[in-house]
Amino acid sequence: MRRSLGLLIIPVLSLTLLSGCWNRIELNELAIMVAMGIDKSDDQYVVTAQVVNPGEVAAKSVGAGKTPVSTYQETGSTLLEAIRRVTTIAPRKLYGAHLRVLVIGEELAKEGIGKVLDLLSRDQELRTDYFIVVAKGTKAENILKVLTTLETIPANKLYASLETSEKAWAPTKTITLDELIADLVSKGIQPSITGVQIKGDQKTGESKKNVEQIEPDSLLQYKGISVFKGDKLIGWLSEKESKGFNYTQGKVNSTIVEVPCTEGSEKKVGIELIRTKANLNGTVQNGSPKGTVQIRAEGNVAEVQCKKLDLTKTKTIDQLEKKVEQDIKGTIEAAISKAQEEFEVDMFGFGEAIHRSNPDFWKKVKKDWNQQFVDMPVEVKVDMKIRRIGTIGNSPLNKIK
């Protein structure tokens, strides 16, 4: 008994004590990277890491007056090389599990993002829940150097802002690494990523002064959705087209639609959409593909600028519904025609829809699907219902003389 107990203790103790805390890293040995920017200069990748300065961010911070985040930048011919080289300038090793936002410079995006994504999805430390955005008209490093208010960590601002604007405004979309890679490898859909730009002066955004005034000189703003062909960026959709694109993807949770009170009138009625549902279908008719987009939307009357509109009549409501349907239809068609005529890529996923409905046909056309898509007729059907008109009936404007 004693002997076998002793024999048992030896391996147990040596296993626990000799292997000793392998992989252990204390919290204060981490450089928490919350945002990463990737640019390309010559043949080298330029990696910019936005690292949290925990002492400055925490709720009870003494506030030594330092910035809440710092950026470290290094170059390397591969991404990992650049990331590891950061240790020569930063005191701690970059820790990527809490990455919130990945910003890709527009130049790099135009050259192709495929190679960059390999490391990001291969490394076990990085999770796939961060958002990917493209720096519109600037370098990624510049985006990461702007200090923000309200959310003291700029990466959190980028993350939260994209999430809320997708929910409440519509012309932006969130995309995570796994979704992006799925879009990239599929022939029936082309990737699209929201753009982010600096509004205001970039230089002043870098200093703490930027957040010390009531109206910051420089802000980060999401603007438009980029269109990719393969892994290369080929162009941008305007705000209206981006919204149209998101309608087709069923990604519009809530947005505002403005319609004129009467034909040709300047005064408008604002409708708040509260729910939309999209049905994107691809069929084959007489050997050629045909796309349909069905939108079901619900909304409330949110704002009325005109005097004569009688909201108590169902007829008025019916008319408003018709106008909203027209508006949504126009927006979607604008996006589709832009994709068909200017970019000549299927960013909507009609290819995938046809793949699902008619796999045999898909096999024949998948090689040159983008050409097929350009000539494909797309039918847009919108069905809109107004549910409520808000807390007042007719506009008080009626009684103002």
Partner 1 sequence: MRAFLRDEFNTTKIGDNERKSVQGGSMRFTKKSLRRRTKSLSKQKQNNSDSTENNGLNRNLNENIQHVKDKTGNSDDIIVREIHIGQDGNLKAGVLFTEGLIDNVSNQNFILESLMVDIRKADLDTNDSYKQNPLQYFKDSVLTVGDIKDITDYDVLFASLLSGKVIFLLDGFAQGYAIGMKGGKDRGVPEATIENTVRGPKEAYTENLRTNTALLRRKIKDQNLWLESKKIGTVTKTDISIAYMNGIANDKVVDEVRERLDRIEIDSILETGYIEELIQDETYTPFPTIFHTERPDVTAGALLEGRIAIFVDGTPHALLVPALFIQFFQTADDYYQRADITTILRLLRFLGFFIALLAPSLYIAITTFHQEMLPTGLLISLAAQREGVPFPAFIEALMMEVTFEILREAGVRMPKAIGQAISIVGTLVIGTAAVEAGIVSAAMVIVVAITAISSFIISSFNIAISVRMLRFIFMALAASFGLFGIIIGLIALVLHLCSLRSFGVPYMSPFAPFIAEDQKDAFFRFPRWALLSRPRLISQKNVEREDSPKPRPKEQK
What does the binding site for partner 1 look like in residue numbers (CB under 8 A)? Answer: 16-17, 19-21, 23-28, 30, 32, 34, 52, 54-55, 57-59, 61, 95, 97-98, 100, 125, 127, 153, 156
Q: How many CA atoms lie less than 13 Å away from 363 in the CB half-sphere?
A: 2
Residue whose CB is less far from partner 1, 26 or 43: 26
Residue written as token pair 């012309």: 171
Residue whose CB is less far from partner 1, 26 or 360: 26
CA distances from 318 to 254, 294, 333 (A): 21, 19, 22
Q: How near is the Cβ of 40 to partner 1 at its closest, in Å?
A: 28
DSSP result, 120-135: HHH-SSS-S-SEEEEE
Q: How near is the Cβ of 27 to partner 1 at its closest, in Å?
A: 4
Q: How far apart are CA 152 and CA 156, in angstroms?
A: 8
Residue whose CB is less far from partner 1, 52 or 328: 52
Residue whose CB is less far from partner 1, 159 or 228: 159
Q: How far apart are the first and last CA of the chain?
A: 103
Q: How near is the Cβ of 19 to partner 1 at its closest, in Å?
A: 7
Q: How near is the Cβ of 298 to partner 1 at its closest, in Å?
A: 34
Q: How far apart are CA 183 and CA 176, in angstroms?
A: 11
Q: How far apart are CA 50 and CA 36, in angstroms?
A: 6
**Token pair recorded at residue 23:** 């992989």
Q: How near is the Cβ of 195 to partner 1 at its closest, in Å?
A: 24
Residue whose CB is less far from partner 1, 54 or 250: 54
Residue whose CB is less far from partner 1, 55 or 359: 55
Q: How near is the Cβ of 384 to partner 1 at its closest, in Å?
A: 39
380, burial (CB in 10 Å: exposed 0-12, middle 13-18, buried 19+): buried
